Amino acid sequence: MLELSVLPLDAIFDFSTKMLAFLAGLAALIFVHELGHFLAARKFGVVVEKFALGFGPKIVGFTKG
């Protein structure tokens, strides 16, 4: 009989959980990094029209003023 599943389900769930945690942490680090650019630009008088992460379509946004 051919075994279709090589990994047990708990190993797949464990990997998926760790991968999602890693991606969430990476996204948080990138956000803080880009926020640093934004705050430094504002401090030195650079007019910042947009603050964005990535190049994809806008998912969430707000307008100030």
Q: Which residues are catalytic?
A: 34
Which residue bears the tokens 């389900």? 9
CB 2 within 8 A of CB 24: no
Burial of 33 from C-beta contacts in 10 A (0-12 / 13-18 / 19+) = exposed
